[in-house]
Structure formats: C-alpha cells, structure tokens
Structure 1
Amino acid sequence: MYDQTQLTNCTDHEDDQFYPDLFASDSEDSEMPHVSRTGEPSKYLTHVDPHEIEMRVKRQLTLAGVEPNRTLEKLRLTRSVISGSTMIPILLDSKFKPNDLDVYANEQGGEDMLAHMHDEEEFKSVKTIESSAASYTRILRIHWLVKEDNLVNLIIVPDDNPMVAIFHFHSTIVMNCLTGYGVFCAYPALTLNRKSISNTGVFHTDESRRRADTCYTKYISRGIEHQSHLRHHGRWAHHQCGTDKSCPATIRSMHDEESLWIGLPSVVGVGREQAAYNNVESVIWSLGGWECSPTRHYNMTTTVSVPIATREIVPELEDIDSVEHEGEDDLLLVSRSSTL
C-alpha cells in the first residue's frame, strides 16, 4: 500500500525517479533540433511521430496505475486534463517516472472523474485538501487517491476550462497538459529545448516562493535549464519584450501559432494536430513578473476565458472589459462581459 506519510501539501512530489544521463543539454545557440516549423504558420511539429507520442502517453498512464484508453475516454467525457511532471517524459522522452498523476477537472467533471477513479480504476480516497488550507492559486480542492504504490491528485478548479490552471503554475516547463484528444505545450521553443523561466506573477507569499524554489531545484536536477527571466537564456538575450512568443509579457492564446498541439492518432486520426476540447472556453494569458523593456513594469499573471468562436483572436490590453482581484493572494484575473 502507498505510505500516507509520503503525502505532502505539494502535488508535485520530489522523489520522482529520474535518470539524468537521458537528458542531454542543448547549446545556447541551438536552433531547436527537436522541433521543425511546418508550412502552416499556426503549428510546431516535433520530429517524433504522433504515434510515438501516443505510445508515451499510454506508457505514462499505465505507470500511474490507470488504464490508458479508459482514462482518455473519461478525460474527453469530463473535459478534464492531466498536467504536471507526467508531461515531461511524454514531450521529452525522458526516463524518469513521476511519483503521481495530476488530473485537473472543473466541479461538474470532477464528480464524474472521482467516481471513475473509485469504481473503474480502484483508487481509494485518503485525504481532501480545501483551497483555504493551502496557498493554491486557481484551485478549489485536491482529492488524494491511492492504489498500492500509485497516487492520483484530482485537482478541482473553479473554471469551466481546467487548462486555466496551468498558466498559474510556477514555471513554463510545466505549462503542458494532456486532453482526451492529445498533447498541449504552451511554450514549445523553451520546453522542447529543456529550458524554463519563472512565472513570478503568481508568487504572493514567502511560502509560495519557497515552494517554487524547491520545484526549480528539482527540475534543474532533471536537466532543465531554469532561469528567473527569459533574457538570461542566451538565445533570448535581446528579444523584443511583449512580442516574442516566449516572453512572459506577451499576450498568448492557446490557439495561436506558437501553441503546440499533437493529436493522438487513434483518437483524432492520422495527421491531425488539433486536440483541444471544442465545448469549453478558450484561454488567453500573459505571465507575470518584471517586463524586459526599459520601463520595467511589474505584471501579474493574467488569464482570460473567451467564447470558442473568438478563440483565434488575441486581444490588446485595452480590449479587456473588467479586472477582478481574486482572493486574499490578490491574483489578477481578467474576465470578459462580451465577445471580442
């Protein structure tokens, strides 16, 4: 049985198994050997066949103690996503085994997913953490479920689209997820070259910064080159702030030309990259922290949910209708009262 004493307030455990020799570092002036531009202006493609990506997905789900096809179907039915450390061996083909599986669901989908984990996957609930008991951002509660040595964190979020949560993570290296249709990567130019930057706009307490530093140390030990700011990565030393798609100050959309989607061939068909849910709102975001420009303004991490019909449009800042401060941690959340 899983030792409950191993459970901590961090959903990303630090005792994941990792084999650093399989994480070779790229040089600063590398032109992304793992990535190629297609003739389509809206997509990246890895040199790995989508069938290989699907094989990695199913391997990681099996290692996590869940049946792959059944789990992918339940993700589709509940519009849930899997994120966290599980996505690293899927995108980078590293050989470490994450010690848990992080599933993100909205409130309605979360009820169905919890029942699925109990009835179909035979996990048992051992603890539930409410957001008021921990410094989580954009999270309502976390259900800890165990089966033998496997741990699943079912994370319930207040947003209709659970993908909103990933843009409030501590750094870009974990801004990836698995939908029921395929894989999403928000910052492929960084992630696929094993590079990462901090999302400092979500740090509002000393405790949140301490926890983030612990995570940075862990990913650095896995061969990820992490920096506090994009300009500290050589290739981006003189990038244009607010324009470069890897810049945290740039307004991004999950359907813009930089976002990487890889569809699972057995689900969406061969050659199809789009793997987003069509029945949830799209997400537009910018990350927080100090701008790279001489004015050096400090921004909060911002997310915007927009109707599906407008998901290809990235708004200018002046198009935002309203700004709310969510909770005591003063997270800046932007909402819209009309279509763009």
Structure 2
Amino acid sequence: MEIHNIIFSGSAALSILEPDSLTPNNLDVYAPLGTMGLVHAFLSQHTSYIKFNNRHTGWQDANDSYAADGTADTGINKVAFYRHALTNSILNIIKTSHAIPTAAIFKFHSTFVMDYLTCNALVSAYPRMTADHAGLVNTTTPDLSYCMVRCLVKYGVRGFNALDRAYDWENRTHDRNSYGYC
C-alpha cells in the first residue's frame, strides 16, 4: 500500500467507520495510474486471487457501476476483478486516471462514500454527515444516470439518506468545538 500509494475505499472503508450499518461483499482497491500491472503481478505471485471476467459477478455493467454520472470524469480508468480461490472473496482493483488515487474518491456519487483507508490512516471527508447516515449527491447535472441512481438506492437500502443540498441535513446546529476533527 505504502510503496505504490494504493488505498482501499467503498463499502469496506464505510463499514470500518460505521460498523453496524453494512457488511461489505467485496473490497475496492484503488491503484494509481501506472500501477495496475504491479498490483496484478503481486496478486498473481503472492496470493490465491485469480483475475476473472466481470460478467461472472452477476452484473452486466459491473465496470460502469463506478461511474459518478454518465457525463463526468469519474477519475477511474478501468476495473479488474479478482476472486480468491478458496474463500470466493472479491477484490475490485480500480485503476484510477490520476497518479493520486484519492482524486477518484472525491468524484464518487455521494459524500457518504468519500471515505478511504491508506497505509496509515482512515479518512472520512464528511465524518459527521457519515455518522448521521446522510450525504450529499455529487453530480454535475440534475439528471442522474441509471448507474448513479442504482448506487444511491444501494446505500439508501443500507440506511443512508442522500440529500440534494446541505441545508436539508437535520444536524444544522453543528458546534465546531464539540468535534475533534473541526
């Protein structure tokens, strides 16, 4: 992680922040531009993870599910899927379109998934909103794509409320002195 600036994000990072809210069914690994081959070599040589075609995940458009909306730059170049030979656990290796993988994190569909794990830190861009299971929809257009709606529904079922504007957040009386991250 440290050598190649790889980060973990998605449901796994959110489950660390909010352990009672969800159980992740995979692990999203964000590899900076230029490191995908190194990640593949490591997984092939040192683990029991085997690369497989995304059609086997059960989603016809698995690669598209990482899009923020249909027109915006998502910060994501490609997704490769790996399954563990013994446990069947899934790794989604996401090649970012930038040398800094966090660029993709801040282009996610909503703020409640703008969380990630580095080699030495757990980061939440919106910790109080995430703790309140609320987040802002992150889009450049009022018309949401099918993929974006599907992502919002996925987290809505998990108890997260997607908001169009910060004013709609019920916790408007935020005391900056009460929280260590302010």
TM-score in same-fold range (> 0.5): yes
Q: What is the CA distance between 1:95 and its match in structure 2?
A: 6.1
The answer to whether 1:215 aligns with 2:151 is: yes
Match of 2:165 in 1: 229
Q: What is the CA distance between 1:128 and its match in structure 2?
A: 7.1
Match of 1:252 in 2: none
Could you state the TM-score of these two structures normalised by the residue count of structure 2? 0.77
Is 1:88–1:94's contact at 8 Å kept on the other side of the alignment?
no
Is 2:12–2:24's contact at 8 Å kept on the other side of the alignment?
yes
Is 1:172–1:197's contact at 8 Å kept on the other side of the alignment?
yes
Q: Deviations for 1:48-106, whole angstroms, at most 9, x for unmatched residues?
A: xxxxxxxxxxxxxxxxxxxxxxxxxxx11110101111112100122632111111111
Could you state the TM-score of these two structures normalised by the residue count of structure 1? 0.43
- Please tell me the residue identity of whatever aligns with 1:102: D
Q: Within 2, Cα distance between the matches of 1:118 and 1:193?
A: 40
The answer to whether 1:184 aligns with 2:147 is: no
Q: How does 1:257-272 map to 2 (within 5 A)?
A: 258=182
Q: 1:229 to 1:177 in 2, by over 3 A?
A: same
The answer to whether 1:157 aligns with 2:93 is: no
Q: 1:223 to 1:147 in 2, by over 3 A?
A: same
Aligned identity (percent) is 26
Q: Which runs of 5+ in 2 are unaligned?
A: 56-62, 68-73
Q: How does 1:92-241 map to 2 (within 5 A)?
A: 92-94=18-20, 96-127=22-53, 134=64, 136=67, 137-148=74-85, 149-201=88-140, 209-236=145-172
Q: Within 2, Cα distance between the matches of 1:127 and 1:121?
A: 18
Q: Which has the higher contact order (CA 8 A, sep 6+)?
A: 2
Which structure has the greater CA radius of gyration? 1
Q: Within 1, Cα distance between the matches of 2:21 and 2:110?
A: 21
Q: Deviations for 1:176-234, whole angstroms, at most 9, x for unmatched residues?
A: 10111121111112112221110022x59x6x622222222221221222222211112
Is 1:141–1:156's contact at 8 Å kept on the other side of the alignment?
yes
**DSSP-derived class of the 2:3 partner:** helix
Q: Within 2, Cα distance between the matches of 1:138 and 1:95?
A: 27
Q: What is the CA distance between 1:109 and its match in structure 2?
A: 2.6
Q: Within 2, Cα distance between the matches of 1:126 and 1:195?
A: 34
Q: Within 1, Cα distance between the matches of 2:132 and 2:170?
A: 12
- Please tell me the residue identity of whatever aligns with 2:167: R
**DSSP-derived class of the 1:79 partner:** coil
Q: Within 1, Cα distance between the matches of 2:50 and 2:127?
A: 36
Aligned residues: 161
Q: Within 2, Cα distance between the matches of 1:209 and 1:228?
A: 15
Q: 1:128 to 1:140 in 2, by over 3 A?
A: farther
Q: Within 1, Cα distance between the matches of 2:44 and 2:165?
A: 42
Q: Within 2, Cα distance between the matches of 1:200 and 1:158?
A: 18
Q: How does 1:1-340 map to 2 (within 5 A)?
A: 75-94=1-20, 96-127=22-53, 134=64, 136=67, 137-148=74-85, 149-201=88-140, 209-236=145-172, 258=182
Is 2:21–2:158's contact at 8 Å kept on the other side of the alignment?
no
Is 1:103–1:153's contact at 8 Å kept on the other side of the alignment?
yes
Give the aligned CA root-mean-square deviation in angstroms: 2.6
